[in-house]
Homo-oligomer: A and B are copies of this chain.
Amino acid sequence: WLVIDSEEVPKLQKTFRFKRYKDALDFVVAVGWAADEQDHHPKITIEYGKVTVEWWTHVINGLHRNDFIMAAKTDEIYRSREDTKPRIS
């Protein structure tokens, strides 16, 4: 994760790559549901082949412990999707 400065608000940002567009959509939905469950909503940008997720805490215009927890959770969702894919052994 990068700490970016977006309009003077620090945010955690990471871009995830996907070969299949539908895998990107599945990832967005999984991150979105996890976010909604915590009532903590990131900015998510979907483009062909990649999804960018940005976490920050609106009320403090900055980073809170919860953002780091949700960033780790986002990685976990990405990894768990990788694990379920068929592999060539």
Binding site for B on A (CB under 8 A): 21-22, 24-25, 28-29, 32-33, 35-36, 41, 43-48
Task: Give min CB distance, A25 to chain B, whole Å.
Answer: 4
The answer to whether B47 and A46 have CB atoms under 8 Å apart is no
Residues of B within 8 A of A44 (CB): 45-46
Which residue of the partner chain, among B35, B43, B46, B48, contacts A28 with CB atoms under 8 Å? B46
Bound together, the chains give a CA A35 to CA B48 distance in angstroms of 10
A54 nearest CB neighbor, chain B only: B47
- Selected A-B contacts with CB under 8 Å, 5 pairs: A21-B32, A24-B32, A25-B28, A25-B32, A43-B47
Bound together, the chains give a CA A25 to CA B35 distance in angstroms of 11
Residues of B within 8 A of A28 (CB): 25, 28-29, 46
